[in-house]
Amino acid sequence: MVGVELYLLPINREKFKRILRGALLTTPPDLFSVYSILVALSGSVVGLIVYSLFLPKMKYGEVFFSLSFFLIFYLTSILYPMIKMRTRKTKIDLKLPHAITYMQSLCNSMPLYEVFKSIFQEKDLYGEVSEEFGFIVRDVELFGENLINAMVNLMNTTPSENLKELLEGLIVVFESGGDLQNYFATKSYHYREKAKKQLEIHLKTLEILSEVFVVVFVAMPIFLIVMISTMSLLGKSIGYELFVYLYFFIPVGSMLLIYVIDLMNIKEDLSLTRVERKKIYYPPSIISEKSAEIPKKVEKRSFKDLLYLPFKAVKMDYYNGIYFSVMVTLVLSLFFYFNKTLFRFVESFVSLATISFCIPLLIAFEYRARFVRNVEKEIPELLRQMLNLKDIGLTLQSVINIIKDSKIGVLSRELKMVDADIGWGATIIDALVEFINRVGISSVRRVISLIVKASNVTENVRDILLISIEDFEYELKMKSDRFTTGFAYLVIIYVSFFTFLYTAYSMQSSFLAGLAKLNVPINLSGSLSLMYRISLILALFSGILSGQMEKGHILNGLKHVCVFMLSSFILFEVILGGGL
């Protein structure tokens, strides 16, 4: 056990302990402080190695790089739990209105503890809120606490002030025997309004970070182009400082900024979600010995699906597109290997290889994203039709039988399959669960799971449908507001990048080329190649950042990477280089 005297961080120990708890890190503060020092010392060694092997020598270079890497690694290790805690807080606050909607729908039909436990079991739907409610379940079932004490414990440790406020009021209402449903309805509206304000703050933060990127990683390279042109005019090669900035500071700084934004961002949930259900149970005595071979057969079948049914494999998991990206890139690499003189610059191969790698994964990701968005747009209309038919006294089975022929969109086929399942003898619950598994969208699963859960405990699902419609439309509006604001930042990055390309074009075609005609000794080819290299580095990181600003997901940036890479290729290889 590490003693208290070894706590070496410049933060109050108890405060840092709460930060670690909020970040769900189990390392004690004392041990974490020791780890931070060890990580920083390791970083110092890495800095010395990088300087010794890859960088030109300078006065006090060993001291500068060892101290720089020490501070970078030390600050990163300290800031990591803080960033993670703040990220969890944001995720809790954004998921909390949905969890309150769930609690509002079921609090009159189930005991409050069972509602907490039900949310804890739905981690795919409620994320960090489920993790927090898991502590209530742990305290009650493992530690023997009563529900009130378990809520007090969570209230004292959660990083979310909103959840703390909810639990404080809930304890009072629960102990006094008040109306829980009315309390949750009031809190749901209150936290939705707070979530809107938090989204505005989040977008303002992204705006600041995007401006930092533009100034440091786009405007500075423009200045760098002017420096390169001036040095070419004087007959000098690139200096040590420019070398460090170009090949170290821009890539490392961009990656750190992208990592921080990725931690902060609330991403679209495009993953395939399923509800595991066992419909039939067999005693071990009648299970064949050959059953052990089934997992191997399933694995082989999955590999065959990837080989022979690429669209199905990509639909199940868009990351399967990486396999096709690798294959396309390898084929293109072989083509360039046997046609080395096709391009004037080696950088042209890098740009086209990057584009070829991005396109298959981009297609897979955008296909899934488009499907998810189309389905989500149709869910409110589906719920309204169900609500209207429920108002005239029809059962849920009859409602589905009627609306299956309505022209809802991509959900029409799924509703027909639900009706067919019921016709073949499945219960309405099983048919809806299969519907969830076929669609595989977490937001749809959240709504349908709520209806399924309510159908298990009550016949009156009208109020649940009303609550679900309101909750889903709120989520769609939040996504729309996020995209509208993010699009403005996307335009800023585009303008900045193409300003860089225009500056490079002007300097190379007008200034340097004009001086070359006057017989001034200028290395036009070298300066052009260096500008090309800078543009590719900026194209990669500007594209990724554009995707983060637009939709919040790094893979959203693949299409922007392709646009920027292709623009650089056309400018430097075709226009300035005279290639092809």
Q: Identify the pLDDT of residue 309.
A: 64
Q: How far apart are CA 249 and CA 110, in angstroms?
A: 57
The position carrying tokens 């669609």 is 439
Q: Identify the pLDDT of residue 235.
A: 61
In a domain, 493, yes or no: no
Nearest to 579 by CA among 359, 354, 357, 351: 351
382 and 467 both lie in a single domain? yes
In a domain, 401, yes or no: yes
In a domain, 520, yes or no: no
Q: Identify the pLDDT of residue 171.
A: 92
In a domain, 331, yes or no: no
Q: Identify the pLDDT of residue 251.
A: 85
Distances in whole angstroms, Cα of residue 6 to Cα of each of 32, 43, 311: 10, 21, 56
CB 361 within 8 A of CB 321: yes
Residue after which a domain boundary falls, among 132, 163, 195:
195
In a domain, 149, yes or no: yes
In a domain, 437, yes or no: yes
69 and 152 both lie in a single domain? no
141 and 75 both lie in a single domain? no
Nearest to 125 by CA among 110, 108, 155, 103: 103
In a domain, 190, yes or no: yes
392 and 457 both lie in a single domain? yes
Q: How far apart are CA 511 and CA 518, in angstroms?
A: 11
Which tens digit of pLDDT belongs to each residue from 236-251? Answer: 665 566 777 777 778 8
Which tens digit of pLDDT belongs to each residue from 415-454? Answer: 888 888 888 888 877 888 888 888 878 778 888 877 777 7
In a domain, 433, yes or no: yes
115 and 53 both lie in a single domain? no
Nearest to 261 by CA among 557, 497, 478: 557
Strands (E), 364-439: none
59 and 125 both lie in a single domain? no
Give the HSE-up count for residue 6: Cα atoms under 13 Å, Cβ half-sphere. 14
118 and 79 both lie in a single domain? no
Q: Under DSSP, is residue 56 helix (H, G, I), strand (E, B) or coil?
A: coil
Q: Identify the pLDDT of residue 286.
A: 44
Burial of 335-355, coded b for 16+ CB within 10 Å and e otherwise, reads ebeeeeeebbbebbbbbbbbb
* Residue range of the domain that includes 383: 377-475
114 and 146 both lie in a single domain? yes
Residue after which a domain boundary falls, among 179, 195, 211:
195
Number of domains, the chain: 3
Extract the tokens encoding 63. 């001291």
Residue after which a domain boundary falls, among 142, 160, 195:
195
Q: Which residues of the chain have pLDDT under 50?
A: 1-4, 279-282, 285-287, 290
